[in-house]
Structure 1
Amino acid sequence: MFKKILLLALIAGILIGAQAPVPNPEKPQAGQKVSWKIKGFAYESENPRMLLVAYTPDTALVQIIPGRPSQDEWYFSYTVPQEATILTYKIEDDEKPLLDDDGVFFATPVYDSSGKPRYDASRSYATLYLGPLADRGDRARELVELELKHYPTNWEALVFLRRFELQAGETTEAAIAAELDFLLAAEPDSLEALRFAAMEFFIASQGFKDKGEELMALCAETYPENSRWTDYQNSIYAFISETPQRLGEYERAVFPLLKGDARETGYFLLMTYALAGRREQRVESLATDFIKEFPRSELASAFIITMLQVKYEQPTVLWAAEMIEWQKKYPDDPEINIQLAEYYRDRSWKTALGYYRNAVKNSDDPKAAARFAEAAAVKGKNFAEASKYLKKAITETTADRYRKLLWWRDFSERRAMLLETQATLYTTLGWLSFKYGKYEDALGELLVADSLLTSIPDYEEELYRRLLTVSEKAGDLAARQIALLNIMLVEPEDRTIQKALQDIYLLDHGDIEDFEEWLHAEELKIALRRRMNVPVPNFPLLTLAGDTVYASEFVGKVVVINFWATWCAPCKEEIPKLNQLVRDYQGRDDVVFIGISSEEPQTVDSFLDANTFLYEAYIDPSGTISTMFEVSAIPTHTVIDAKGMLQFHYAGAIPNIDKILAMEINSLLEE
């Protein structure tokens, strides 16, 4: 699985930039020591860290290099691995980026003895530009042309360049197809790469999909273990999911021939398709076959858990019996142990305890300790043990750990994930301390969680429910006020909350004359603390009729986006609330509501014929917009302000989403 993540991450931001800090030597070779001297950063820092990634043909080696002060400079050094082809790096501390190229990595190739780069960074970086950073198209094109100058038979780079030309109206799909046909017939050097690059172009082009399908079958027959099956998995999935016939041909002519990692990827694509259609028997057969073929795969437990989730709507005795048999085969798998622990928590604490211990001891995920501690708090048992595991997890949840785990992510995203995890751990620790009778410790730990969420920014209702309970027990009015104000975010009409806040205000001010004005100001503070201020590119939206609308057309309006699907039960459950939200702003021309689905237009159209959904419907068949907004689950809700800045983003179902969105909209309209 790690290798698959790496291969996908290769497109996530590599650059040889004009402003890159110059390495010494400027053309490093394998085995050499390379160093950088930096004369200060945009911000003062006492602990700069270089996040360096050395790419090899098979993987990426991540190194965190602490800066060493030397007079008025910072010094970083690294020995280049023998198999390295390119070094990418950025410098940051725990608070902010210190030196990068507009959020992405600088890079330098590793050179051979003749002075030629082993591999040029341009093509991978250009791939990124084709997606969410399309506003950098000119730079991307320049880099692709540089790549072809160094390596004229890099067919992937050639196809990327042709796509730039297609976007600019300088060529046509037919002309590109004719050129690729000519090259394929000539069978030049790197024919293998050419066939895959051509296949990927054909299956994504409206008039040449059959040709792409034929080429895919040829590649499966000739190159069944090639890593490009993983590189192109998103394009292949988009293609085979278009029609049952495409899927059937893939299963008949391609999948049976694949081997190794390519076959693992094939299983993943077929399982994704089966899950999207809730095909229970197909999910079970795929999972069973996968585990027989790849019993030691990192994906094995995910296939097992998915299979049983589909087979049983709720964990039952039969579910538990099957899961126990799988646990015997995978005794150290953290997630299988967690699943069984949660099942037995209220049935047999002694049995559950064994599974929790297995999960925590064998997991690198700090949330395993949190789940054990949550269970201990519910049961009122094993406080000391759970607290020990939880405090150890907090100690190990560091910025450096997340740099290594999530090196390809943007600094702000990675930091948000770190702080969110830390907030979860402190929320659980605070509740465990409360249940243990340590009220002052509990209050301090929950306030730490609040400060972490405030700095992301993020919101977690359960934290504030717990803070309200603990602050009442501890007699802390300031903490109680924080809790009440945040709970009001999801319960704005709850009179008991407003009355409690009014009582606190009365104690502080002696009267309630200005209470309403104060309350409105406090509500606005909470909304404003969640602001993300992330610029959104001018992305295209496709209507059900096939017309293209650009995001720039909505500048000057608050744009509310719902990423959804017709098969998604939580998405459908919240539609009545979203419809009422649209009605609440009916007649206003400064708010727009947009629903985006990655399904076929006919599927969405049929759903809307039978159901009322008042959001304007658009589709994202390639998944480009979902990728840009990092949609990890549906439903996902985002809000963009009138200046085109992303201000709110929440993945997953959430109670009272209509009220939360209304508060976000109103605060933006008041600015």
Structure 2
Amino acid sequence: ANKRIAHYENITPKVEKNKVKVIELYSILGKKEKAEELENTARKEFPRGEMMKEKYISEITNVEDIHKKVYLYDRLQKEYKASELGDKNSYLLTQIANTYVEEGNWDLFLEYSSKIKDPVALASLYNSVAWDQAENDENLAEVKKISAKSLSLLENEKESLNNKPSYTTTKEYRTKISSSYQMYADTYAFILNKLGENQEAIKYAKIAVGEGFNTDINERFVQFLIDDENFKAAQQSSSKFIEENQANEKIKEYFKVSYQENNPSTSAVNLETELRKLESKGETKAFEDLKKEKMNTPAPNFTLKSLDIESLSLSDLKGKTVILDFWANWCAPCKASFPGMKEVVEQYQNNDQVVILFINTFENEPIEERITKSKEFLNSKEYPFRVLLDTPIKDSRDFKVAQLYDIKGIPTKVIIDPKGNIAFKKVGYNSNNEQMIKEIQMMVELSQQ
């Protein structure tokens, strides 16, 4: 990085793009003061350049008052053409439109959202607003229209590909649009159901389900079938989700309701037996799927300090199954998984053969701030977690243990077997705590075989 900085600084004549590269390199090296000093200089040298444009955009983003936000946006429009702003224009218009929704000004929301030229960005805005409004049972007739528009925008873009970025292939772009379409179809179905249009709601909910990977969407689909009193289809769908290990507790309740309606003379014992058969199939499938994912890679050793500044080495835990949960205070999915992880910790608290460690990583604040923030959060939720603090690598944005374990995103859970080998590595969180808990139990069991 330092060699590249010297290279760019020696190039003449001085142009802004080279200064931007130098600033980026100083930022990567963690030299924030130097980067900020160069930013201020660049804005004076190039008053209509990229750095000044980013300053304007930052001001608009950070101001809360909607009138000032609009004033600053109008100023930006006078200084730069829409083509010079690119994706940032859609981003700023989305911010303004969202603020008007929060203030309850529907007309101005529609006015500013209509200025967004990127159909994918506009569809995303329409979908998020439609979902939030529908969750609160507000403006259902209006949000039905914009939710339908979000689907229409994606359909047209998938055919025309007019806004395909140069960095992605046609196949990748269409796949991304299809994935968004499924999600937005779930929103539209949700709104239709609230409006009592159950047949149409079921039609779009079926599209949203796709291969059934999202249990919340699966749950809504079965709920809509029950609302429509289509108990036969509700039983078939809920049975399939349970067998495929794609169900949550609510879907299991819907199975009981639909099964009882279809078999009114069945006993409670028989009903539970039928449910247990399906659950057993789901557990068997999940277990067999996990077997195929099992790894046998030596786990790199590390030594980290806890929130109480006590050191712990992975090598000290050889002979035990170790669960590493990589997380950060800013990571919403990490925190969403913690109620389930609390249950996991409680389940194994009396098992001295299983150790669960939460590795706080990807946090750039000073260590004292990380400790304070983590303790406050964990104490507020009464999470009995054993937290270790990953070490930042000097002159880098990387962290020692995250790099050793090739952690690209969080949350990521790593299961280490008693011999000191990585048995499993699971990335992400699918919002189903019940499924996550069972999966961890199975991974622990398989790691001990």
- By the TM > 0.5 criterion, same fold? yes
The answer on 1:237 being equivalent to 2:15 is: no
* Structure 2 counterpart SS, 1:544: strand
Q: Could you say which residue in structure 2 is the equivalent of 1:649?
A: 428
After superposition, the Cα gap between the structure-2 partners of 1:228 and 1:358, relative to the gap in structure 1 and judged at 3 Å, is closer
Are the aligned partners of 1:225 and 1:259 in contact in 2 as well (CA < 8 Å)?
no
Segments of 5+ residues of structure 1 without an aligned counterpart are 1-195, 201-215, 241-245, 265-288, 313-318
- Equivalent positions of 1:393-472 (< 5 A) are 393-397=154-158, 404=165, 407=168, 417-418=176-177, 420-435=179-194, 437-452=196-211, 454=212, 458-459=213-214, 461=216, 463-464=217-218, 466-472=220-226
Distance 2:272 2:331 in 1: 48
Question: After superposition, where does 1:66-77 map in structure 2 within 5 Å?
Answer: none
Task: Return closer, same or farther for 1:304/1:595 CA change in 2, 3 Å cut-off.
Answer: same
1:118-162 residue CA offsets vs partner (Å, 9 max, x unmatched)? xxxxxxxxxxxxxxxxxxxxxxxxxxxxxxxxxxxxxxxxxxxxx
1:594 corresponds to 2:337: no
Q: Is the 8 A contact 2:96 2:112 kept in 1?
A: yes
1:371 and 1:609 map into 2 onto residues whose CA distance is 33
- Match in the other structure for 1:144: none
Give, in angstroms, the shift of residue 592 of structure 1.
Answer: 4.0
Q: Return the offset for 1:646.
A: 3.2
Q: 2:10 aligns with which of 207, 215, 222?
A: 222
In the alignment, is residue 637 of structure 1 matched against residue 411 of structure 2?
yes
Which amino acid in structure 2 is aligned with residue 239 of structure 1?
Answer: L
Bigger helix share: 2
2:333/2:411 contact within 8 Å kept: no
Q: 1:362 to 1:236 in 2, by over 3 A?
A: same
* Identical amino acids, percent of aligned pairs: 14
1:476 corresponds in structure 2 to 230
Judged with a 3 Å threshold, the aligned counterparts in structure 2 of structure 1 residues 666 and 573 are, in CA distance, closer, same or farther, namely: closer
Partners of 1:399 and 1:502 in 2: how far apart? Answer: 46
CA–CA distance in 1 between the matches of 2:72 and 2:16?
A: 31
Cα distance, 1:443 vs. partner?
Answer: 0.8
The separation in 2 between residues aligned to 1:522 and 1:479, in whole angstroms, is 20
Deviations 1:201-257 (A, max 9, x none): xxxxxxxxxxxxxxx5x66753465867767877643532xxxxx5334444x5455
Task: From 317, 321, 345, give the equivalent of 2:67.
Answer: 321
Cα 1:500–1:362 change in 2 (3 A) is closer
Contact kept? 2:93, 2:115, Cα under 8 Å: yes
CA distance in 1, matches of 2:439, 2:302: 26
- 1:50: which partner in 2? none
Q: What is the CA–CA distance in structure 2 between the aligned matches of 1:229 and 1:479, rounded to whole Å? A: 63
Determine if contact 2:328/2:334 at 8 Å carries over to the other structure: yes
Does residue 294 (structure 1) correspond to residue 294 (structure 2)? The answer is: no
Residue 386 of structure 2 corresponds to residue 614 of structure 1: yes
Give the secondary-structure state (helix, strand or coil) at the position aligned to 2:429: strand
Return the alpha-carbon distance in structure 2 between the equivalents of residues 501 and 585 of structure 1. 31
Write the deviation string for residues 20-51 of structure 1: whole angstroms up to 9, x where unpaired: xxxxxxxxxxxxxxxxxxxxxxxxxxxxxxxx
C-alpha distance in 1 between matches for 2:314 and 2:43: 42
Superposition deviation, residue 330 in structure 1 = 5.8
SS at match of 2:214: coil
For structure 2, the 5+ residue unaligned runs are 83-88
Secondary structure at 2:114's aligned position in 1? helix
What is the CA distance between 1:665 and its match in structure 2? 0.7
Alignment partner, residue 379 of structure 1: 139
What amino acid is the match of 2:391? I
Asked if residue 352 in structure 1 is aligned to residue 109 in structure 2, the reply is yes
Aligned to 1:662: 437
Partner of 1:100: none
5 Å-filtered alignment, 1:5-44, equals none
How many angstroms does 1:367 deviate by?
1.4
The amino acid that maps onto 2:425 is L
Task: Say which SS state the counterpart of residue 353 (structure 2) adopts.
Answer: coil
Alpha-carbon distance, 1:447 to partner: 1.5
Deviations 1:420-464 (A, max 9, x none): 423212212323444565422321221221115x3xxx4363x34
Shift in alpha-carbon separation, 1:437–1:305, aligned structure 2, 3 A: farther
391 and 564 in structure 1: CA distance in 2 versus 1, 3 angstrom threshold: same
Shift of residue 348, structure 1, vs aligned partner: 2.9
Conserved? CA contact 1:402–1:418, under 8 Å: no
Contact 1:434 1:442 in 2 (8 A): yes
1:524 is the counterpart of 2:280: no
Query: 1:504: Cα distance to partner?
Result: 3.1
Question: Retained in 2: the 8 A contact 1:560–1:594?
Answer: yes
Determine the C-alpha separation between the residues in 2 that align with 1:337 and 1:623.
Answer: 34
Cα distance, 1:585 vs structure 2? 1.8
1:489 offset after TM fit, Å? 8.1
Deviation at 1:508, TM superposition (A): 5.9
Counterparts in 2 of 1:234 and 1:338: CA distance versus 1, 3 Å: closer
Q: Tell me the residue number matched to 2:32.
A: 247
Give the equivalent residue in structure 1 for 2:344: 581
For the residue of structure 1 that corresponds to 2:325, the secondary structure is strand
Distance 1:402 1:325 in 2: 29
Cα distance in 2, alignment partners of residues 549 and 435 from structure 1 = 54
1:433/1:442 contact within 8 Å kept: yes
- Shift of the 577–483 alpha-carbon distance from structure 1 to 2, 3 Å rule, reads same
Q: Which amino acid aligns with 1:237?
A: S
Q: CA deviation at 1:327?
A: 4.1
Tell me which residue corresponds to 2:153.
392
The amino acid across from 1:646 in the alignment is K
One-letter amino acid of the structure 1 residue matched with residue 141 of structure 2 = K
Of 75, 95, 99 in structure 2, the residue corresponding to residue 343 of structure 1 is 99
Question: 1:649 corresponds to which letter in structure 2?
Answer: G
Q: Distance in 2 between matches of 1:231 and 1:628?
A: 27
Residues in 2 aligned to 1:342 and 1:569: alpha-carbon distance in whole angstroms: 21
Kindly tell me: are residues 418 and 650 of structure 1, through their superposed partners in 2, closer, same or farther at Cα, counting changes over 3 Å? farther
> 1: CA distance between counterparts of 2:71 and 2:205?
39
Give me the whole-angstrom Cα distance separating, in 2, the residues matched to 1:504 and 1:294: 62
Q: Please, what TM-score do these two structures have when normalized by structure 2?
A: 0.64
Matches of 1:536 and 1:230, distance apart in 2:
44
- Secondary structure of 2:390's aligned partner: strand
Q: One-letter code of the match for 1:380?
A: L
Distance in 2, Cα, partners of 1:592 & 1:415: 41
* 3-state secondary structure, aligned to 1:447: helix
